[in-house]
Structure formats: structure tokens, C-alpha cells
Structure 1
Amino acid sequence: MEEKQLYRIERDSLGEVEVPIDALYGVQTVRATRNFPITYQKTHPMMVKSLGMVKKACALANNECGHLDDEKCKYIVQACDEVIEGKLNQWFVTDVIQGGAGTSTNMNANEVIANRAAQLAGKPLGTYDYIHPNDNVNFGQSTNDVFPTAGKLTCLFLVDGLIEEITLLEESLLDKSLEFNDVIKLGRTHLQDAVPIRMGQEFHAFATALVRDIRRIRTAFMNLKSINIGATAVGTGINTDERYKKIAVRYLSEISQIELTSAKDLIDGTRNVDPFVFAHGALKTFCVNLSKMCNDLRLMASGPKTGLSEIMLPPRQPGSSIMPGKVNPVIPEVCNQVCFQVFGNDITITKAAEAGQMELNVFEPVLFFNLFQSIDLLTHACYTLRDNCIVGIVANKEHCREVMENSLGTATALAPHIGYANASKIAKQALKENRKLKELILEHNLMTKEKLEEVLDINEMTKAGIPGMHKKSAKK
């Protein structure tokens, strides 16, 4: 019985390599898998889709310019469409972190598209006599313009999902701000008792910060619509038809449904990657607000008997393997950790961008790995925070009121009426003797009972103005 052949032999400038017989990738992809066993994570599926779009646009541009005949263009475009649809993802096998500035990923795409196009044309895999990865699929291109262009498209596709989740999170916080509008609690500064505040005001402030974040992210990622396709190796456009750049950008805009523009200076667009640093900076800033909010939620939910216990988070899982009945704030905790990861990614992206030399930044693979990860992680974090936490938060209204009424924070409202020194003296006495402010104010004949009730109206304390003087101002 004849043994089934497992490999085919392919050749490149370095020699012969065995390639799995049915693989759509080729010799350069195999070398990359051997050279870069780093993360064991493969090309992001959205990056694969973006590469398919770039290669399709380039094929159509080369065909229009007369450098790729109609028949070959047809098969290449069909293969690219399958890449875009995700049908060939299994053949994109290079590690996300690699040497060579992304050449391995670009050649992986060239080989897959060339071999699939050959299949569609009824030709054997791995011969490249009909459609060649470099001469046809990569004509007029370089890794140095294909890879960053596909990376920018990937960011733009991914960030849409993130913005959608942040928007939904912001809306859920606004819903809670309305629900908690009548819940009055004690505000805190320096983790010490301050003045009364409505819980609804706090949740509205959470939402307001996210509105700024959405605006910042949209603005920062808008810069990624400027691409350097047509720049080829160093930005000079060598080996491209002079009409090619404009046509390729037009096709890519149509295919991606994103209005792209050609970089004004292709040399700058090829050697500098600061737009990615700026874009990720907006994500880092968002994480500052997101993590701070999660810190506040954990503090507000602390207890439930010996902490602040102002809110109750939805119980999502048992909190301890040793303490029965314990439930932890696991959803805010996981969001905190996502933010910590993004902070670390920002350092990597900053360093990768700074460490480029001359006409090319060779560290785009690790830059993209971290940038794509940040967007993905934040998208998932926003979803779980909203779905598994925010929508199910319950306010401990009576406890909030009790704590506030027994605090010294309301002494602030007394200062405009009895003076800061008297208010401070009364507050210290109340703390020392464990007595209520109202009781001591009346005992010292500092204010009438009626006036005191008006001044210490906790509803008035959560509004702008001087408590106890609203009615007088209204009459005027």
C-alpha cells in the first residue's frame, strides 16, 4: 500500500523547506513558525480580515493600472474575499510577536492568497507558476506599507465595538443616576466624612466621565484613517505605478466602508508610528476613569456589616474557599485588572514607537499585539461591568441616611450661620461626647429649632447655594 505523502517541497532564496501537503501557506510561513515560537498566539482574526481587504484593494488597483491581468485578478480577488469572510483563518499561523517588522505575516497572507487563487484556477499548491505570492499578490507593495495599513484598519474595526460598549455602560450609569436620585448619602474626601451628596449625582458623574472618554477615543482613532499604502519600502513609492496609490486608497475605502486618506508625507507615514501611541493614550485615559469608578464601587459596597455598605452589588459567585457566605466584588475587580494590563501595554507601545530607527519602525508586531489586546480587553470588561454589575446594583438607602444623619459632615452647613469657629467647636464636642449636632446647637442657643431644621435640611445640602438661605433668596 502506497504511503500518503505528507509534505511538499518549496524553495526560497535560503533553500528548500518541507510544507504540509494541503497547507495554503508556503515556505516563508513555515520558516516564520520555526523562528518565532514566542506567544503561541496567531494573527488576530480582525487583522487577517484587514489584510484580505488590503490585498484585494491592491489587486484591483494593479489591474486598473494594467499590471495584473483580468483572469489572475479575478482569482486573487476571490481568494481575498474568502480571507475577508474568515474562511481561511486556519492558515494564518505566524506568531503575533515576530522579527522582521511583520514580513512573516505579510508573506503568510501572500502565500495563502496565492495558493487559494491557484486552487480556484485548478492549479497545484506550492508551485506558484501561475500566481506568485511576491510577483502577483504583493506587486507594488511592501510589508512596510501593507502591515501598518492593515493594522490601522484593524484598530478602526475593533474600536467601534469598544465605543459601543462604553456607550451602553454610560447609559446604564445614567439609568442608575435616575434610580438613585432620592438616595442621600455622605460624601467623602480623603476617605473622611464630608458633606451630603445624592447617590444619583455620583452615578451621573461616572457617566459624564465616560462621555469625555468616548469623545477622546473617537478623536484619537480618527488619525488612523490616514494610511501609507503605496509607500512600499521606505515611503518613496518605488516599484509602484504613479496612479496606483490613489486608486488603491479608493478601493480600500470602498471595501472597508471607511473613508481613508493617503498620508500627506509617505516617508513620515512609514517611519513614524506616533498615531498609535496617541490612540492608545486615549484608551489609557479611559482606564484611569474606569478603574477609579470600580475602586469607588468596591468601597461603596464594602462590608456588608462593617464597611460602608452603601450599595449592594449583584452576587456573582462564592467569594471564598474557606469563609462560608462571603461574596466578593469580582466584576469591579476584573475590570481593575484589565485596566492594569492596559497601563502596561501603554508602556510597551510607547517604547516600541520610540525605538524605531530611520525609515522603518520594526517593532510594529509587538505594538499591534498590545494595542489590539487593549481594545479587546476593554470591550469585554465594559460588557461584563454593565451586564453583571451596574444594572443589578441596589442602594442601601436607609443605611445611607442613618450614617449621614449621625455624621459631622452636616456641620459644614452651619458655618455660614454661626461661623466656622463655632461650627468646628460644636463638631469636635459632638465627636468627643458622641452626641448629635442638633442637640448641641440648641443647647448652646446658637440657632432656633425652626432655623436649625431649615439649615440642616439634607435635601438642600445636595444643591448649590447656602442651606437655610434658599427661601430668603427666593423671596427677593
Structure 2
Amino acid sequence: MDTEYRVETDALGEMLVPANAYYGAHTARALHCFPVSRLRFPRSFIRALGLIKKHAAITNGRLGLLPQRIAQAIQHAAQEVIQGRWDDQFVVDIFQTASGTSVNMNANEVIAHRATELLGGKLGDKLVHPNDHVNCGQSSNDVIPTAVQMAALDGIVHQVIPALNELHTVLDRKAREFHPILTIARTHLQDAAPIRLGQEFSGYAAQVEHAVDRLWNVEESLGALPLGGTAVGTGFNTHPEFARLTIAGIASETGLALEEAHNHFYAQSNLDALVEASGALKSVAVTLIKIANDLRWLGSSPRSGLGEIKLPAATPGTATLPGKINPVLCETVLKVGIQVIGNDAAVTAAGTFGEFQLNTMISVAAYNLLLSIELLAPAAQAFARHCVAGIEADRQRCSEILERSLALCAPLAPVLGHDKATQIARIAQEEGRTVREVALELSGLDERQLDALLDPARQTEPGGAVLPPPLAPGTVSPTHGATGQPGAPLQVPPSKSNA
């Protein structure tokens, strides 16, 4: 089906534009020149651009730089951009002109044509001009980094941090729920020492809490906006009050902590704020990877793995193995984390291309930074709701693992010496017995003393070995009976040390 076109002009001459398009010649030329990918700027960035254009028009009308009729039409059109009405008109590829001029002009043209329509004109008319009116007091060089920083800060404050706070709440709840449950800690993937399952989860909760703190630390740098520096930071061709008034309006509408950058030559010549924010998001990704991977290991089972916790079933695991359930939420978080780490590498590399007064890689940095935000927020939320909230502890499995662990030898060392404790561990391992069984034979300690030393609950708290006095020969152990279970009286023979 043939497409109808209208003819528009830009600095390079005439350009065919689809007749029903709200963008104009500059955008059409960019479409022709940059057919690289299907990657486009996300909704968060388009919204930020709309906010800038809206409040720029309010400021310019207030300062007498635009007729009120035109300023109001721009505000109305920009508000529609903010609300997402014209997202399909933002068509320029991420891999475009260095400073983001094409996407800035895309916004200027869409808003100008819509404002023209609101004033009674038709598409292609220039009752409202994209450069003279919509872009008044602005440059792509200060608008685009401003839009990226606004979109990133908004996403971090209103999406990622709330999602992480939700995850923290669920982890903290599990830490309290699992506190009575004793299990074994692991270092180098080997048994290390007794630990409370709740203590493990308290570590995860604290890790998320610190991740949130790191994100709040980028608020100041992202909130210092380059707007008002125009092309190179001098503020040429803009009113001295333009940036302050415009940013104040945006801050009031969004609730974000925004201010004009104190040094525009700094703010426009580098992507340091974006690199810093990306690094903080990468640290969040690393945190989530750590937690998700631990839970995947702890939930490995149901018969042949660690099985200390039971992960909730989210989806059937396989089409070929009946009954198999996989840790799919954990794996989703791992994939998101890996992607965010890759995004950060791209942002970091982009940050190295800040030659003189402009960084030419801002569109690539913007895409990857905002993608990280878009991925982390829903991933953390889904992880909290559909995985962590439904975790159950397998108390029996934890108890079995703990009782058979060679790590219980650790408190024997201060009493018996390292060599003797090592010997007990080695024999227990070779003969497939518990540390308690071997120690009762070889340590010279009676049951009560061993119970005190090997009490795993005591080993989860600070302190050293406390050895009670030995039982008198022929007396009854207050803790263990014939079956080794609490409560059943037993006449125990003298220990070897008392024989």
C-alpha cells in the first residue's frame, strides 16, 4: 500500500515526510541516515523530554520570550508527550548523531506539529516552530543529558528503590521466621561452622539495605542538571533565569531533588553522573546475583541436593521430566544481573569519550543505563513476591545436615588441641560416623561435656568453649538417654579419663 507524503524542508533542503507523521524533516532525515537497529529511546526518556519542553515553554512565556498563545499550545502538546500519547512518533535510532540532536529535534517537531494543530493549523504548517519556539533557550547538548539524568533519577527513586525495599522487607521477615533453625555455614562450598538459617537471611536483608543506600548516594549527582548551559556551557542564547525557573517547575511536578548544575562546563562535557549511577546499579545487580544464587543452592533438591529450604514452585520445570520444578525466579534474577553488568560496561566505555565540551556517546549510555533500571525494578519485585515470600525451611533436613557435619569439631580444638580435634574429624569422615560418636570414644570427655561443647546453638554466638566439670562416675547424664535423645535417663560408665 502506497504511503502518502508531504514535503518539508530543513537546513539541507527538502525532505519527504509521511503525511500523517507528527515528526518533520529533521527526524525523517535521521531515519534515512541511521537505519542501524530497532532500538529506540524508552518511555522514561520520552517523558523526561516532554517535561523539559513543557516547563521550558512555561518559563519562556513567563519571561516574555514566547507569545502566551504559543507557549500554552506547546505546554498542552508536551503534556500529551509526557502522558505517552505520541510515543509511536519517536522513531529515531539509538545509534544516531553524537549529541542526541536527532532525538531532541524529534521531540521538537512532534510537539511543534501538535501545537500547530491545536492552534488550528495542519501537519506541515509552522505556526509553532520546532527550533524557534519549542527549543527556545535550549540546545541538544544540555537538553539530552538533562533528560537522561532526570529519567534515571526518576526510575531509581520511584521504581528500583521501592522494589528493593519490598525485597528487604520480605528477607527481613524470613530472617526472623528462620532464626530458631540451626544449620551449617559454608566457606569454599565446604562445611564451616553452625549458623542459624535466620542469620543467613539477615545477611541477605542487610545486603539489600546497603544496596539501597548506594542508590540514594547518586541522587545528588543525577539531580544536578546541565540545562541552561546551551551548546558548550556558557549559557549563550538563553535567559539567565531560564534554567532555574524551568528546573524548579520540573522538580515541583516530579517530586525529584533537582537543581541547576553549579558548573555547566563540568555538567555538559562528561557523563560522570551516568557512570556513577550505572555503577550503583551494577552493585545492585551483584547483590541480587549473590542472593539468588545462594537461594538456588540452598533449595537444590528435592532428594539429592542441599534442600535446606523449599523454593515455591513458579512454573513446571521441564516438558520431559515429570514433577521437576526449577528455581526459575532465581535464574531470572541471575540473567537480569548479568545483563546489567554488561550495560554498565557499555556506560563506562561511553563515559570515556568526553572530548572537550561534549561527550558523543550519550545516546548509548542513556539506552544502557535506562535499560538497567527497567530490568532491575521488576526483577527485584518479582523475586520478592514470587520466590522469597514463599520460601519454607526444611527443619529436618537442616538438623540432619548439621548433626553429620564435620564442622562440629571446631569447638573441640580449644579443649583437646587442634591435632586431636582433627583426628576425630578424620575418623568420623572415614567411618561415616558423627563427630559426637567419635568424640565420645576418643576425647576423654563425658556426654554432658560433649553436649555443652558441641551445642550448635552456642556456636552461633560470640564466645569460646565452656567446659562443664565431668560427671561423677556412675551418675546420670541429664541430657541424653539410651537412644541419644533428650530425656531418657542412662547410667553412663566412667569416661576413659576417669577410669
User: Do these two structures clear the TM 0.5 threshold for a shared fold by scoring above it?
Assistant: yes
Shift, 1:402, TM fit: 0.8
Query: Within 5 Å, which residues of 2 pair with 1:64-463?
Result: 64-128=62-126, 130-159=127-156, 160-463=158-461
Say whether the 8 Å CA contact 2:329–2:383 is kept in structure 1: yes
Shift, 1:97, TM fit: 3.0
Say whether the 8 Å CA contact 1:53–1:256 is kept in structure 2: no
Say whether the 8 Å CA contact 1:272–1:360 is kept in structure 2: yes
Amino acid at match of 2:303: K
SS in 2 for 1:458: coil
Shift, 1:356, TM fit: 2.2
RMSD of Structure 2 on Structure 1 (CA) = 1.8
Say whether the 8 Å CA contact 1:62–1:244 is kept in structure 2: yes
Who is 1:48 aligned against? 46
Who is 1:13 aligned against? 11
SS in 1 for 2:6: strand
Amino acid at match of 1:398: Q
More helix by share: 1
CA distance in 1, matches of 2:143, 2:120: 28
Say whether the 8 Å CA contact 2:452–2:468 is kept in structure 1: no
Which protein shows a greater Rg?
Answer: 2
Who is 1:474 aligned against? none
Amino acid at match of 2:75: V
Gaps of 5+ in 1: 472-476
TM-score normalised to structure 2 length: 0.90
Shift, 1:433, TM fit: 2.1
Q: Tell me the number of residue pairs that the alignment of Structure 1 and Structure 2 aligns.
A: 468
CA distance in 1, matches of 2:3, 2:329: 52
Percent identity between matched residues is 39
Show CA shifts across 1:235-255 (max 9, x none).
Answer: 111111233232222233223
Say whether the 8 Å CA contact 2:52–2:147 is kept in structure 1: yes
Shift, 1:39, TM fit: 3.0
Aligned partner (choices 22, 25, 39) of residue 24 of structure 1: 22
TM-score normalised to structure 1 length: 0.95
Superposition misfits of 4+ residues, deviation over 3 angstroms: 467-471
Say whether the 8 Å CA contact 1:97–1:369 is kept in structure 2: no
Gaps of 5+ in 2: 470-499
Show CA shifts across 1:162-192 (max 9, x none).
Answer: 1000000011111111121121111111111
Say whether the 8 Å CA contact 2:98–2:362 is kept in structure 1: no
Say whether the 8 Å CA contact 2:219–2:257 is kept in structure 1: no
Higher RCO, Cα 8 Å, sep 6+: 1
Say whether the 8 Å CA contact 1:331–1:389 is kept in structure 2: yes
Say whether the 8 Å CA contact 1:430–1:436 is kept in structure 2: yes
CA distance in 2, matches of 1:407, 1:132: 76
Shift, 1:232, TM fit: 0.7
Shift, 1:62, TM fit: 1.7
CA distance in 1, matches of 2:153, 2:281: 13
